């Protein structure tokens, strides 16, 4: 039964006296008062009633794929200029990002801040060198609510990921934990992953989060479903996700929605580490050219979902998906990468129908400071807001940089030219070949594995290696190239197994002829591929140092620990025998550059693409 006008009036007086009115992030339930009886004396003239609003506005602030970019990443956003054309706006930096989040929060006290995954992993040195503890601490200071776990959160395995959430200094990797903060606290925000399930049937992290918002006596609830892309086992070290299964994203979310509605959810937000791409600008609402792996998920999702906050593709977009599929009227967003953008999402929730009646979003550029790249300077522009530094976050980053500084700046050797990760027509890259050569050199000795061939996965090559004017390269640069902290592994494999691994470049899991993942080989190993041939017959002319390789002959092959357990769908590597562990990958690269200085980057002539045009 609805309370009478008299009850509402009395309730308004009590509520105004006890709690004051206005927005609040807390749940303030209004207790019903007893109905008056005939023996009650006449009530005094009612005071002005506290009108329960018909709607409550809620602000969501979202980011994704931060990847530990605490310092400004020296990137610009191409944004519309006031006089026409575009302007390059320098963006990013965690201290500026924290201020931008605070500025958006000030516009509506009823807010929630969420991350759509890959907050950590594949990070620059100031984060990766410290096992991403610095990033967790910086985000703690931003006071966010939830992070939907991405694939890169699993780079160092689920045990280390649990430490990121729960804190402590247990040593789960080759790197030492807690080198700066001896009492690493872990995350003060929720990790969510509804579709990451353990063998006992429970999720590794909570599936959902709920947040209540109150305005003038009316309370609404927003539910968040966190999701890791189901393809995670194919793109992280298999050992790190052993015992976990990654369920279908849409099926998982759809099964949770009735439960969330039963718990009073008025709006449902899916925060998912999967995404798409568009062919328009960072804040263009037309969403022209939307494509990618997020689409089949959207088309299966229950229409009760109001917003899908996505990531993984490092692209930025704001899409009314209902224009693409009228049966699925979702608001779809993504904030690009590296903290360069925040998505400002505004929902209006009707307090009677308990439904979202309006929703809109904008991608906001996190502009903080300019930078110089080569001969070009990108200055801040007054055409877009400029955010100041959050001093708490800035001080935290400075503390970690001070400790990392001597290591970052240490010169490891010289290169005669830049080694890029740009792919050639054969899908080789100079940087990938250089890494393979370094790993072969590190494992060639008999006591190191007696390696004859080395392979590097292209996804592990994270940056170009550009020498300074005197040819020097620093440890910080090579760490940026290989930030994962993988170790080297040598295995015995037959020629037939090596051929089978190379066939998996084009026909294994997400590795297809349309989207091949071509391994980078060490010097002396050559082969040809032809994508026009049927699966299993695409690899020919395999040779080692000019001699044709025989299927039955055994060879010693080096790979990193990610590939060694079948990473990137190269499961045949699991068949190797006589395994011997080796050095850290970044140490091998450092030793190779130092020994060869000044080192000329290698040619890209090891693979021949014989596919007809």
Q: Is 2 exposed, middle or buried (0-12, 13-18, 19+ CB in 10 A)?
A: exposed
Cβ within 8 Å of residue 531, ≥6 positions away? 506, 513, 516, 538, 609, 611
Among residues 441, 440, 477, which one has the least CA distance to residue 462? Answer: 477
Give 436-461 pLDDT, tens digit per residue: 999 999 999 999 999 999 999 999 99
Residue 482 in this model has a pLDDT that exceeds 60: yes
Residue 56, strand partner residues: 349
Q: Which residue has the higher pLDDT, 528 or 373?
A: 528
DSSP state, residue 473: E
Report, as an integer, the average pLDDT of 316-323.
Answer: 96
Structure tokens at 562: 């990610």
The pLDDT of residue 12 is: 41
CA distance 493 to 340: 44
Give 124-168 pLDDT, tens digit per residue: 889 999 999 999 999 999 999 999 999 999 999 999 999 999 999
Distant-in-sequence contacts of 171-179, Cβ < 8 A, 24+ apart: 173/131, 173/485, 174/485, 174/487, 174/584, 175/129, 175/130, 175/131, 175/485, 177/131, 177/133, 178/133, 179/130, 179/403
pLDDT category, 269, cuts 50, 70, 90? very high
The pLDDT of residue 46 is: 60
Cite the DSSP H helix spans in 289-347.
Answer: 294-300
Report, as an integer, the average pLDDT of 377-391.
Answer: 98
pLDDT category, 311, cuts 50, 70, 90? very high
Structure tokens at 569: 């769908």
Residue 566 in this model has a pLDDT that exceeds 60: yes
Least confident of 99-108, 339-348, 369-378: 369-378
Q: What is the DSSP string of 46-105?
A: PPPP-PPPSEEEEEEEEE---TT--S--SEEEEEE-TTSSEEEEEE--HHHHHHHHHHHH
The pLDDT of residue 162 is: 98
Structure tokens at 161: 């990921």
Q: Which residue has the higher pLDDT, 8 or 177?
A: 177
The pLDDT of residue 48 is: 56
Cβ within 8 Å of residue 120, ≥6 positions away? 66, 67, 68, 127, 132, 135, 136, 152, 153, 155, 164
Structure tokens at 478: 């090579």
Residue 368 CA to chain centroid, in angstroms?
22
Mean pLDDT of all residues belonging to the chain: 92
Residue 6 in this model has a pLDDT that exceeds 70: no
CA distance 196 to 202: 9
Cβ within 8 Å of residue 591, ≥6 positions away? 438, 441, 442, 583
Residue 18 in this model has a pLDDT that exceeds 70: no
| Greatest distance between any 2 Cα atoms in the chain | 107
The pLDDT of residue 42 is: 61
Give 24-61 pLDDT, tens digit per residue: 444 433 334 344 444 455 666 665 556 789 999 999 99
Q: Which residue has the higher pLDDT, 481 or 47?
A: 481
Residue 171 in this model has a pLDDT that exceeds 90: yes
DSSP state, residue 374: T
Contact predicate 253/301, CB 8 Å: yes
């Amino acid at each position: 039964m609805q309370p009478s006008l008299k009850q509402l009036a009395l309730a308004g007086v009590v509520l105004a006296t006890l709690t004051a009115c206005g927005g609040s992030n807390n749940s303030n339930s209004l207790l019903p008062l007893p109905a008056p009886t005939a023996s009650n004396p006449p009530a005094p003239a009612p005071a002005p009633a506290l009108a329960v609003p018909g709607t409550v506005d809620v602000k969501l602030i979202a980011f994704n794929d931060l990847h530990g970019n605490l310092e400004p990443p020296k990137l610009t956003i191409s944004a519309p200029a006031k006089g026409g054309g575009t302007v390059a706006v320098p963006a990013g930096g965690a201290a500026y990002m924290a201020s931008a989040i605070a500025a958006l929060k000030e516009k509506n006290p009823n807010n929630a801040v969420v991350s759509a995954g890959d907050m950590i992993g594949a990070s620059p040195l100031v984060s990766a060198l410290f096992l991403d503890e610095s990033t967790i601490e910086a985000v703690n200071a931003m006071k966010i609510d939830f992070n939907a776990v991405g694939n890169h959160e699993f780079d160092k395995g689920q045990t280390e990921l649990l430490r990121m959430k729960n804190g402590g200094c247990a040593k789960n990797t080759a790197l030492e934990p807690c080198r700066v903060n001896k009492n690493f606290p872990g995350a003060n925000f929720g990790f969510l992953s509804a579709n990451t399930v353990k063998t006992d049937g429970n999720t590794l992290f909570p599936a959902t989060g709920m947040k209540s918002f109150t305005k003038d006596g009316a309370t609404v609830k927003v539910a968040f479903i966190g999701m890791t892309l189901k393809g995670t086992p194919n793109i992280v070290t298999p050992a790190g996700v052993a015992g976990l299964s990654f369920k279908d994203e849409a099926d998982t979310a759809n099964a949770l929605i009735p439960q969330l509605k039963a718990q009073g959810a008025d709006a449902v937000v899916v925060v998912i580490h999967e995404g798409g791409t568009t062919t328009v600008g960072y804040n263009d609402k037309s969403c022209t050219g939307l494509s990618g792996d997020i689409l089949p998920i959207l088309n299966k999702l229950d229409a009760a979902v109001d917003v899908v906050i996505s990531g993984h593709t490092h692209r930025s977009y704001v899409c009314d998906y209902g224009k693409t599929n009228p049966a699925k009227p979702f608001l779809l967003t993504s904030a690009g990468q590296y903290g360069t953008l925040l998505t400002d999402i505004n929902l209006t929730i009707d307090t009677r129908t308990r439904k979202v009646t309006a929703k809109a979003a904008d991608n906001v550029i996190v502009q903080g400071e300019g930078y110089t790249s080569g001969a070009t300077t990108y200055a801040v522009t007054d055409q877009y807001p400029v955010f100041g530094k959050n001093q708490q976050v800035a001080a935290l980053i400075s503390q970690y940089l001070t400790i990392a500084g001597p290591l970052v700046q240490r010169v490891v050797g010289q290169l005669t030219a830049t080694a890029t990760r740009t792919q050639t027509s054969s899908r080789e890259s100079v940087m990938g070949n250089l890494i393979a050569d370094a790993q072969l050199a590190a494992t060639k000795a008999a006591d190191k594995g007696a390696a004859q061939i080395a392979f590097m996965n292209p996804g592990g090559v994270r940056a170009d290696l550009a020498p300074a004017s005197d040819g020097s390269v620093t440890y910080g640069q090579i760490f940026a190239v290989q930030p994962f902290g993988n170790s080297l592994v040598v295995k015995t494999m037959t020629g037939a197994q090596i051929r089978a691994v190379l066939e998996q470049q084009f026909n294994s899991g997400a590795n297809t002829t349309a989207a091949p993942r071509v391994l980078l080989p060490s010097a002396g190993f050559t082969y040809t591929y032809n994508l026009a041939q049927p699966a299993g017959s695409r690899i020919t002319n395999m040779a080692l140092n000019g001699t044709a390789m025989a299927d039955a002959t055994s060879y010693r092959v080096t790979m990193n620990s990610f590939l060694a357990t079948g990473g990137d769908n190269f499961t045949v590597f699991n068949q190797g025998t006589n395994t011997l562990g080796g050095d850290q990958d970044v140490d091998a690269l450092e030793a190779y550059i130092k020994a060869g200085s000044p080192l000329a980057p290698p040619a890209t002539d090891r693979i021949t693409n014989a596919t007809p045009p």
